Amino acid sequence: MSKYRNVMMCMCAVVAAMFFSCCASGQARPETIPYGANPAAGHFLHVDDANIYYETYGSGGTPLVLLHGGLYGYIDEFGELICELSKHRRVIAIATRGHGKSEIGTKPFSYTLFANDAFAVIRHETGEKVDVLGFSDGAVTSYTLASAHPELIRRLVAIGGPRKFTDWPLNAQTELKNSKPSDVERDSPQFVADRKKLMPKPDKWLEFNEKLVALWAGPVYVTDEQIQSIKVPTLIIMGDHDQYNQIPKMVELFQLLPKGEFAIVPGCGHVVLACKGQFTISVVDTFLDQPTRAAKE
């Protein structure tokens, strides 16, 4: 996972820069919004064996639920998107268990577990149908959530989420097989120090990494049958140079969807929101903002 870590750490600087300039016309001091650690927007919900942290922004429209990526991912990676879309709808950004302020719990990580956490938060916050956007690990969670709860979701956006471990490019598979849970702290000490400041139990950092490595090793994250059961309009997005997804495999996933759409973001790797944030947000907003068409589907 060394390339993944290097890419993500570079992207962190890009994303931070975007936060500082985000929504300058809509908010007086957007740079002061501490996404992922915002006491003005933060909430906790006890779900099963863990306290799950989430933040809410904006009002109106169909609520939009955000599910972030794994390990380096967190609520703050959606800063620019939250800033834009919360202008005209309510946004619920959920911290996956073990990430940031959400507790790790006692169970092995699974996408079903993550989906159950998300479902509990959503139903605690609203009885309405919601739109869901998931990135990377959050995208896989979104497939699982949509398959298990067809009554919950109006529209779904999944960015860079594979179906199984063997959908990864071979070099990425090899990197994961050769990685150790302790590598992240060795290679990215400042990132880990900052993340531990958020964690309710920072001494569980290594356990958190061990659970993620086991999750990623799969072998299957979501079955073809689960994908085929997703009847809501679903937009699949990926970068054309995604290091952790192959275009043919994502096309296969898209073709399994009864109501699928597929968008490739040109010139980008895995983290398309950091690479071409406004372009990606525009694609997402256009897809989600189709109430008349949605009513006919």
CA dihedral 135→136→140→142, nearest 10 degrees, is -10
- Cβ-contact 172, 4 below 8 angstroms: yes
CA dihedral 271→250→296→280, nearest 10 degrees, is 20
Residue listed under structure tokens 């999750």: 215
Domain that holds residue 260: 2-296
Q: Could you give the 3-state DSSP secondary structure of residue 183?
A: helix
pLDDT tens column, 188-240: 999 999 999 999 999 999 999 999 999 999 999 999 999 999 999 999 999 99
Strands (E), 29-181: 42-47, 50-57, 64-67, 91-94, 130-135, 153-159
How many helices (H) and strands (E) would you count in the chain?
13, 8
Predicted pLDDT of residue 32: 83
Q: What is the overall mean pLDDT for the chain?
A: 90
Q: Could you give the 3-state DSSP secondary structure of residue 7?
A: helix
pTM of the model: 0.90
Which residue stretches of 94-203 are H helix? Answer: 111-125, 137-148, 170-178, 183-187, 189-198
Q: Could you give the 3-state DSSP secondary structure of residue 234?
A: strand
Q: What is the CATH number of the domain that holds 204?
A: 3.40.50.1820
Counted domains in the chain = 1
Average pLDDT over residues 34-38: 98
Cα separations in angstroms, 96 against 93, 209, 291? 10, 13, 29
Instruction: Give the C-alpha separation, 218 to 286, whole Å.
Output: 33
- Cβ-contact 239, 212 below 8 angstroms: no
Q: Could you give the 3-state DSSP secondary structure of residue 67?
A: strand
pLDDT tens column, 49-106: 999 999 999 999 999 999 999 999 999 999 999 999 999 999 999 999 999 999 999 9
